[in-house]
Amino acid sequence: MVKIAVLGYGTIGSGVVEVLEKNRDVITRRAGEEIEVKYILDLRDFPEDPYADRIVHDYEEICQDPEISVVVEAMGGVEPAFTFAKKAILAGRHFATSNKALIAKHGAELIAMAQEKSVNCLFGASVGGGIPIIRPLNCCLTADVIEEISGILNGTTNYMMTKMADEGSDFDDVLKDAQQKGFAEADPTADIEGHDACRKIAILTSLVCGRQIDFEDIHTEGITKITATDFKYAKAMGRRIRLLGSSYKTGDSYCAMVAPYMLDDSSPLYGVNGVFNAVFVRGNMLGDAMFYGSGAGKLPTASAVVADVIDIVRHKDEHIPLEWRPEKLELVDYRQLTGRYFVRTTAQPAAIEKAFGMVTVVEAEGVTGETAFVTGEMDGYAYEQAAEQMGDILQCIRVK
Ligand code: HSE
């Protein structure tokens, strides 16, 4: 019997307990022994909960119990999660987490500590919710240089943009709905401003290059400036608006960013709707692969956390190697990427042509008093220069 402690009894923590309970038999078979939740750490009490007797309020109680071999963290946020993680690992406990903020900031450090102590630090649920993407990158796609990794990495914003396009619903109503369904972060600003996707693409890029990527270095745009008018144009163009986190191998480094894109149906990410996430990977030998599934929510995320616990139990006497060294990799400026841009402006046609040259004008039903167009292929520096020269920009969304 393996005894574990779950830190945080919110959406994910209670999901972990539920998955372990509901799938007890199959989990025991696959892990090779039974997994029991001995403690649940939370500030609150849950008197009506069947696990009420396992709730503790002091982390020391868990640390001092030699029976605990795995600590599962589902509290979110960097602190006190980082302090708790270090304490667990340094005391020789395995550690599993769904916390992308913690892993994006301290992943390399925790992995190095875990290696030193011959334990495991696994974080499969930190990107893509229930989709297995971390383990495939670490264990399966190891023969390739990854040239591109791009994905729909935030379920809340994908859910919102799907609903806004399909139902014409309001931004605030759709956000509330996503929060009620347990998709959103405690502070949904992290979802809608792209910070959550930024941490996830930082983790994925760190794993594909084996070095530390600082998420603060990743250019990040959210979806808060996307309007109902943009969806009208997208519809007229047969495109969907999606928030993407992307990384492209550029020389010896990577170029990474988070931004909304207009996708057409030739993109493998075009059909990813609602709360689903997908991660597209292009390897120099493999070619293309895509990982798709439930990207947020209680049970999908908890399922990935429990899968890590099972992996830990299967490897409880060894450290599973993970290449993510603490040395930082300097990213290439995102403006080096070339692409096309959808632009809405009140500028006159002559000013548009002078700044951008030949463009493709787009019309949308019921939209007047402005001009919308798609530029030719250009890099980010050329776009910025042309946009400044033309002025009067109402909107700009990258086109893929
Ligand atoms: N708020 C996140 C999302 C949860 O919507 O994708 C999963 O990381």
**pLDDT, tens only, 162-206:** 999 999 888 999 999 999 998 888 899 999 999 999 999 999 999
Among 100, 117, 200, 298, the one annotated catalytic: 200
User: What is residue 51's DSSP assignment?
Assistant: T
- The mean per-residue pLDDT over the stretch 46-71 comes to 97
| 115 — pLDDT class (breaks 50, 70, 90) | very high
In this structure, the residue with its CA closest to atom 7 of ligand 1 is 296
- The mean per-residue pLDDT over the stretch 85-114 comes to 98
Distance between Cα 232 and ligand 1 center (Å): 26
- Say yes or no to pLDDT of 298 above 90: yes
| 265 — pLDDT class (breaks 50, 70, 90) | very high
Ligand 1, residue 301: give the atom nearest the CA: 7
Confidence (pLDDT) at 186: 84
pLDDT digits (tens, 9 = 90+) for 3-47: 999 999 999 999 999 999 999 999 999 999 999 999 999 999 999
Please report, in angstroms and rounded to a whole number, the separation of the first and last CA atoms in the chain: 51
Q: Considering the chain, tell me which residue range(s) the CATH 3.30.360.10 domain(s) occupy.
A: 134-294
- The mean per-residue pLDDT over the stretch 237-260 comes to 98
For the domain made up of 337-399, the CATH class stated in words is alpha beta
- The CATH T-level fold of domain 2-129+298-328 is Rossmann fold (3.40.50)
| 258 — pLDDT class (breaks 50, 70, 90) | very high
Tokens matching residue 224: 């808060």
Let me know if 200 is a catalytic residue: yes
Ligand 1, residue 185: give the atom nearest the CA: 1
- Counting every residue written for the chain, the total comes to 400
pTM over 0.75, yes/no: yes
Please list every protein residue whose CB sits less than 6 Å from any atom of ligand 1. 129, 154-156, 183-185, 191, 196, 295-296
- The CATH T-level fold of domain 134-294 is Dihydrodipicolinate Reductase; domain 2 (3.30.360)
Taking alpha carbons only, the member of 305, 268, 251, 231 closest to residue 37 is: 305
Task: Output the average pLDDT for the chain.
Answer: 97
Q: Considering the chain, tell me which residue range(s) the CATH 3.40.50.720 domain(s) occupy.
A: 2-129+298-328
Ligand 1, residue 191: give the atom nearest the CA: 1
Contacts (Cβ under 8 Å, ≥6 apart) of 300: 129, 130, 293, 294
Tokens matching residue 313: 């139990």
Residue linked to tokens 């191998």: 249
Distance between Cα 371 and ligand 1 center (Å): 35
Q: Considering the chain, tell me which residue range(s) the CATH 3.30.70 domain(s) occupy.
A: 337-399
Residue 356 to residue 324: CA distance in whole angstroms: 42
Ligand 1 probe mutation, 196, 242, 294, most atoms within 8 A of CB: 196
In this structure, the residue with its CA closest to atom 4 of ligand 1 is 296
- Say yes or no to pLDDT of 308 above 90: yes
